[in-house]
Amino acid sequence: MYEDTPYPTDIREYLYKILVIGDLSTGKTSIIKRYVHNIFSMNYKSTIGVDFALKVIQWSPDTVIRMQLWDIAGQEKFSGLTRVYYKEAVAALVVYDVTRPKTFEAVPKWKSDLDTKVSLPGGEPIPVVLLANKIDLQEEGSASLDEEEMDRFCEENGILKWFGTSAKDNSNIDDAARFLLEEIMNREVEHANQQAQDAAAMAGRIQLNQPSAKEGCC
């Protein structure tokens, strides 16, 4: 009776909690609003505590990803509450403002705050991508970000990659999010493979411990 149902039955759905952190007024909320609703405003309204947004992505014909974005107020900087907010996150975007060097200097502190308070189920650090935001404000002719220096900075701080972004001009935000999702998905596959290997090894060990037919008792 239900054989001709038009609904595909083998859709895989993933829900990922992703943190967006960084100093005050670096553009975290603006980046999320641009990414999720494609809107931008120059009015600054500081986030209090934490805010949430959901972005649903049709990743492939049979895979849907729900990104639960946790927009954590810059004023929560290393407060006792970040441990609560970070719980069960699988990735993070760390944002700084290219016009304010102090917000860049704070990036390693945000990264180590993350590493001490959250990790993946296997114990590894969660994947982190750095967003150098407000690149639209870099004055024309002024030195742009030194790519090599930025790459080195990321490597030294255990950050996977950096992107120069602008929430105002909608630059590079989609690319950064896509890169982060690919990293999350790769880790998910690795973790599943590891678990399958562990299960197979365990099954082998159980078989070895079984008494053979000859040794069988009465």
Chain positions contacting ligand GTP, by CB under 6 A: 24-30, 41-42, 44, 46-47, 73-74, 133-134, 136-137, 166-168
* Closest approach of ligand GTP to the CB of residue 132, in Å: 10
Q: For Mg ion, which stretch binds (CB under 5 A), given 39-47, 154-162, 175-183, 200-208?
A: 39-47
- Supply the minimum distance, in Å, between the C-beta of residue 153 and ligand GTP: 20
Tell me the helix, strand and coil percentages in the chain, rounded to 5: 40, 25, 40
Among 26, 47, 82, 103, binds Mg ion (CB under 5 A): 47
| Count of other CB atoms within 10 angstroms of residue 28 | 28
82 binds Mg ion (CB under 5 A): no
Using CB under 5 A as the binding criterion, the count of chain residues that bind Mg ion stands at 3
In the chain, where do the E strands start and end?
12-22, 50-60, 63-72, 91-97, 128-133, 161-165
Q: At what angle do helices 28-37 and 173-208 cross, to 10 degrees?
A: 90
Indicate the DSSP class of residue 214.
T
Interacting span for Mg ion (CB under 5 A) from 31-39, 42-50, 91-99, 138-146: 42-50
Q: Does 133 bind Mg ion (CB under 5 A)?
A: no
Residue type at 20 in one-letter notation:
V
Contact positions toward Mg ion, by CB under 5 A? Answer: 28-29, 47
